[in-house]
Amino acid sequence: MSFINFQVIIPNASNACSGFGESFAWTFFDLNQIHDEHKDGPVTVLQADFYHANELLPLEDEDVLAKVMPYLSKCIKDVDTATVTNKEIRRSPKSLTHFFPGSYKYMMRGATSFPNLFMAGDWITTRHGSWSQEKSYVTGLEATNRVVDYLEDGSFARIIPVEEDEPHIEALRSLNRRIKEISSQLPLCSYFLQ
């Protein structure tokens, strides 16, 4: 988590990124938009999560920050002139679930064959549309609702639907679907990764 000493305008609260490092992907979040405690604050509060970032693990905190800030500055105007006034760097080796094309079929359901055992986490199937940390949270709420239903006691958790995709994401999804439809008509298409 980083505190930048002046307000930096970040268009989206949650941002997925890749292509800067050799082996990792990352997301960054504008906590001023997400958490009430930072809303309307005098500084911008960012959180950047790097996945499969083994190359960052042995670095000192200052060296991690020196690598992260140029990545952020490529995504957000004015970050390159900002000064970090506070930082918190956590390392969590071997803590990331590794998803891959086709892994969905190996995911578990939230309900089990035991009537009083319910599952939650990012490896649980859900129709919600969230992913990763958010998916773990949502499937936890879904499991809570199953417990309330099973025990017939308590209040159901309210699950907020995922916002609609931005127009450019929906356009790329539509293009991807069309390419898959066309390529599936080609001979030998089943031999290629889709």
pTM of the model: 0.56
Cα(88)–Cα(21) distance, integer angstroms: 21
Contact 86, 3 (CB under 8 A): yes
| Confidence band, pLDDT 50/70/90 cuts, at residue 156 | very high
Overall average pLDDT of the 121-134 stretch: 82
Task: Share the mean pLDDT of the chain.
Answer: 84
Q: Do the bridges between strand 2-4 and strand 44-51 make them parallel or antiparallel, or are there none, so unpaired?
A: antiparallel
pLDDT at res. 55: 83
Please give the torsion angle defined by the CA atoms of residues 177, 137, 103 and 50, in that order, rounded to the nearest 10 degrees: 90
For residue 113, the enclosing domain spans 103-151
In a domain, 182, yes or no: no
Please give the torsion angle defined by the CA atoms of residues 49, 53, 58 and 61, in that order, rounded to the nearest 10 degrees: -20
Same domain, 121 and 82: no
DSSP 58: T
Domain count, the chain: 2
| Confidence band, pLDDT 50/70/90 cuts, at residue 110 | very high
Same domain, 58 and 109: no
